[in-house]
Structure 1
Amino acid sequence: MFLLEPSEWGLAQALMVFGACALVIAIAGTRITRVVDQLADRTGVGEAAAGAVLLGAATSLGGSVLSVTAAWNGHAELAVSNALGGIAVQTFFLAVADMVYRRANLEHAAASAPNMMQNGLLICLLSVIMLAPMLPDVTVFGIHPVTPALFGFYLYGLKLVQGATESPMWRPAVTLDTREDTPDDTTQMPSMVRLWTEFLGLMAVLGVAGWALEPSATTIARETGLGQTVIGVMLTAISTSIPELVTSVAAVRRGALTLAVGGIIGGNAFDTLFTAASDLAYRDGSIYHAMSNDARFWVALTILMSGILMMGLIRRERVGIGRIGAESVAIMVLYLGGVLLLLS
């Protein structure tokens, strides 16, 4: 039955493919967290930077392929809603990871200058995307000027994150529950060649699994009669964000708290480039001006969630409601509220 074209799949086939891909992503995502943690120590770049660049890019590969493919096929709303919905659900996943770490609130234990810098970068990039539809609808070779600005802003932001890692001008107060980014003993780790080979192999597995999720998710949506925005925000965004959930929980269990937070926030900043890459692939004008009101709502909601997370990293409440941070509770309420509004 799997020799059929995806367009010929029924709901049962699509669900089986979806489940198989999700399982592969869960296994590969758990393993790639350990590899990135070791690469962070081997290369000396630190967990926050490694989480932003390596873990964030690797776990976001499936979503980026999906958004670009959708844009190339002319489905602007699906491309944008997948990218923006992914950022929102991954922020929600950070609150889930906070529930896994029982010693103290994750915002308290993993506060660091690089993570705060990354979160500031994310808020700025989302604000640029939110401003884009209000700018003149002009393109050069089919590309809106905001697209190269997003790429440039992101690269400059990575430089600032690296600077905050190497020479921080601000440090969080160290408490008994603070988990600092201290390198492990590298003598017991595999060689750099083996680590990089394993990382690239796992990244390829995640990318292929994410690519395979797209037709199964589309088939499920078609068979159940869901709309395109619901597909992007609720189905493809969540399915392609499974690596972020798995890797963040796995990193917390390994004690790599900075990596867990940095992987989510860094991955979110990287995911804003889905929109820029989708504009490159979209041939019917500016993809920003094809954004629906629902997509703009999710941009605004994600900025609010990211701002609350920033406040949590600064406030650093040690123990909150149910032994998770009040910020995590607020993020979960906002996300679930947004989902209810979308489905209503």
Structure 2
Amino acid sequence: MFSDFSFAALAAILAGTAIVILLSGLRMTSLADRLADRTGLGEAMVGAVLLGAATSISGTIVSVTAALDERASLAFSNGIGGIAVQTAFLALADILHRKANLEHAAAELANVFQGTVLMLMLALPFVAYTLPEFAIWGVHPVSVLLVAVYAVGLLAVREVRETPMWRPVRTHETREDEPEEDDPEPRSTLALFTVFAALMLIMAAAGWTLSRAAAELTDRYALNASVVGALVTAVITSLPELVTTLAAIRRGALQMAVGGIIGGNTFDVLFITLSDAGYRNGSIYHAIGRDDLFWLTAGLTMTAILVLGMLYRQRRGPAGIGLESVLILAVYGFAIAVQAF
């Protein structure tokens, strides 16, 4: 079907899916904040699990669809490229939060712990790549291990939040996670979850459409699938993270802003597991190329800088933002330059 469309039509489809994903993500932010207060789970937990997974649904569909079409590079780089751009979004959000370095003001042990889990998960695909090609029913054991690490990590994050063994030092700039006393939302919690689920379905449909359009552009113009995945589909499907992060900061939900990015990135690593299951020509880890591993390296480096920034908690850095934000943007800019030229 998409092969009959002109370039202008395909470009319009990309723009249309971006708008749908953007608006859906914006609405999800306010719903997630209300649900965090009503369920008592807290902004960091809801941001990492509910909001992080929900805003990643369009990217999930893109990777799975690409894998089913035997486009290993597009499937892999879409998820990993999303991790890089979403981490860069957090650095951009730091620029907008002028009171203090965002990583300082949003001090939360759950986010630090989740960040280290993310680094572990990003390291595992390297292990799979260096091992001999092996798969059980078409799925590499590392893909299963990624799911296990993610599940254990979620349980551990909740335990860390409820019974922390250490707490960040509270300063004048630190923003506490406190439920809002007035809840202007008249609908029940079940109704909020229902609306949230409906938005996820809309984003899933947008993700499928985006995957088909991107695949057609890649084939028609002989584009590098890794670049298309990391810099086109990954950026478009990551727009909810940008919107939700900026909206959360505007609402004062700083811990949700940071937790949403880290949680979304952690969930995005599972794109690899789903892509491996969808890719039927063996292990996807041995069907990818150096360009895909390059984006995996960039994402891991940017995540390490972010976690170090959350631990160091610099109050103010260059241009009024944290040094880690400057470094994250520098790494991402360098990665784009290397891939583009």
- Corresponding residue for residue 289 of structure 1: 286
The amino acid that maps onto 1:72 is L
Is the 8 Å Cα contact of residues 10 and 219 (structure 1) preserved in structure 2?
A: no
Q: 1:45 to 1:186 in 2, by over 3 A?
A: farther
- Corresponding residue for residue 246 of structure 1: 243
> Within 5 Å, which residues of 2 pair with 1:1-344?
5-185=1-181, 187-189=183-185, 190-222=187-219, 224-344=221-341
Matched position secondary structure for 1:127: helix
RMSD in angstroms over aligned alpha carbons?
1.3
Q: Displacement, 1:197? A: 1.1
Bigger mean CA deviation after superposition, 11-20 or 104-113: 11-20
Q: Displacement, 1:221? A: 4.1
Is the 8 Å Cα contact of residues 66 and 215 (structure 2) preserved in structure 1?
A: no
Q: 1: distance between equivalents of 2:275 and 2:60?
A: 8
Is the 8 Å Cα contact of residues 119 and 265 (structure 1) preserved in structure 2?
A: yes
Is the 8 Å Cα contact of residues 66 and 211 (structure 2) preserved in structure 1?
A: no
Q: Displacement, 1:25? A: 1.7
The amino acid that maps onto 1:297 is F
Q: 2: distance between equivalents of 1:183 and 1:161?
A: 20
Is the 8 Å Cα contact of residues 11 and 219 (structure 1) preserved in structure 2?
A: no
The amino acid that maps onto 1:204 is L
TM-score by length of 1: 0.96
Q: Displacement, 1:161? A: 0.7
Q: 1: distance between equivalents of 2:138 and 2:207?
A: 27
Q: Which stretches in structure 1 are left out of the alignment for 5+ residues?
A: none
Q: Displacement, 1:225? A: 4.3
What count of residue pairs does the alignment treat as equivalent?
340
Is the 8 Å Cα contact of residues 56 and 267 (structure 1) preserved in structure 2?
A: yes
Bigger mean CA deviation after superposition, 28-37 or 203-212: 203-212
Deviations 1:8-46 (A, max 9, x none): 111111121222221222221111000001111111111
Q: 2: distance between equivalents of 1:250 and 1:212?
A: 26
Bigger mean CA deviation after superposition, 79-88 or 186-195: 186-195
Is the 8 Å Cα contact of residues 83 and 274 (structure 1) preserved in structure 2?
A: yes
Q: Displacement, 1:180? A: 1.3
Q: 1: distance between equivalents of 2:132 and 2:143?
A: 14
Matched position secondary structure for 1:16: helix
The amino acid that maps onto 1:21 is T
Q: 1:226 to 1:104 in 2, by over 3 A?
A: same
Q: Displacement, 1:167? A: 1.2
Q: Displacement, 1:218? A: 3.3
Q: 1: distance between equivalents of 2:259 and 2:142?
A: 26
Q: Which stretches in structure 2 are left out of the alignment for 5+ residues?
A: none
